[in-house]
Structure 1
């Protein structure tokens, strides 16, 4: 059993599947210096969506999430965190209804394409990095 890594459950108080746990463990082992072009990755995911088992509407949501990430290269050094509001995410997902948006976010989490971290009360939050000079 690993210690020191807190694996999160997906939003909506669902149980954590073994597949999600394995995906989170693999993500924690990624080389921090590795990077990939987000649009090349997205195109590859679109081509392989039948193999992955993800719908085209879920890919629309993923595309919208990627537009919130400021750099073209996805890397651990860049933070890999976006936290748009549901309203802004819906607008970039071509006006997708809130319930539909939540369903497709859930599908992205279940396939391991994204992780969602919520606070204990179920609300999203941004974690600020602690700097050495902060007091």
Structure 2
């Protein structure tokens, strides 16, 4: 038994009896945060199937949340997989603390009913962690979404800076504005050449910061030339245009 499995069992015993969660909302959060949780796509397909075997959509802290489908039923509802694959990914769910295994003495999954037909004891998979860890899964999912958005924004910063820098350098060269445009071009190519195809968001933020610094330097160079207070630069530029236009 892993520490994660032990922690899940301890938490299940301390579940808030008044807690109520929507099982499919929690499942969406788990799916969003699957990498942080440690679940595989196949394991989530099995979790989806396990949740579907419980008749209630709202899970309560004081409800009996043990489901006991056979392997054949699980395989069918999880869109098909080999028994070995099923066992492997069921183990993932248990190790991640998403479900708790409640084994019977003979290892079978079943429910023992009382004289009136009510379930007295069920052996199978306990879904109580869905209630106990609902807020944790929601927080993880929100963090994943926020990180994905931050990554998208970092890439957008890079794209915009690259576009503007290339245009500004081209303008400086075409207008024969006195500046080290080759140096700017080399600096740009050096940064652009280090943009990774796949990397953590922090790497893209660092590249975006370098490009923004270069963007500011190139922008300031152009603004210095077109600034009306810099009459000498403008006059020199005009003289070159006049000379170039003479036959």
Q: Give the TM-score of the pair, scaled to structure 1.
A: 0.79
2:56 to 63, 66, 71: 71
Instruction: Show the counterpart of 1:109.
Output: 94
Instruction: Show the counterpart of 2:39.
Output: 54
Question: d(CA) in 1 for partners of 2:15 and 2:115?
Answer: 22
Instruction: Show the counterpart of 1:82.
Output: 67
Instruction: Show the counterpart of 2:24.
Output: 39
RMSD value over aligned CA atoms?
A: 1.7
Name structure 1 gaps, 5 residues minimum: 1-15
Cα deviation for residue 127 of structure 1 reads: 4.2
Structure label with greater radius of gyration: 2
Task: Count how many residue pairs are aligned between Structure 1 and Structure 2.
Answer: 116
Residue 5 of structure 2 contacts residue 96 of structure 2 at CA under 8 Å; is this kept in 1?
yes
Question: d(CA) in 2 for partners of 1:19 and 1:34?
Answer: 22
Moved over 4 A (4+): none
Cα deviation for residue 86 of structure 1 reads: 0.9
Instruction: Show the counterpart of 1:97.
Output: 82
Cα deviation for residue 120 of structure 1 reads: 2.4
Question: d(CA) in 2 for partners of 1:21 and 1:130?
Answer: 34
Instruction: Show the counterpart of 2:14.
Output: 29
Residue 75 of structure 2 contacts residue 81 of structure 2 at CA under 8 Å; is this kept in 1?
yes
Residue 21 of structure 2 aligns to a residue whose secondary structure is strand
Name structure 2 gaps, 5 residues minimum: 117-247
Cα deviation for residue 129 of structure 1 reads: 6.2
Bigger RCO of structures 1 and 2 (CA < 8 A, at least 6 apart): 1
1:36-64 deviation per Cα after TM superposition (whole angstroms, max 9, x unaligned): 10110000000000111111110000001
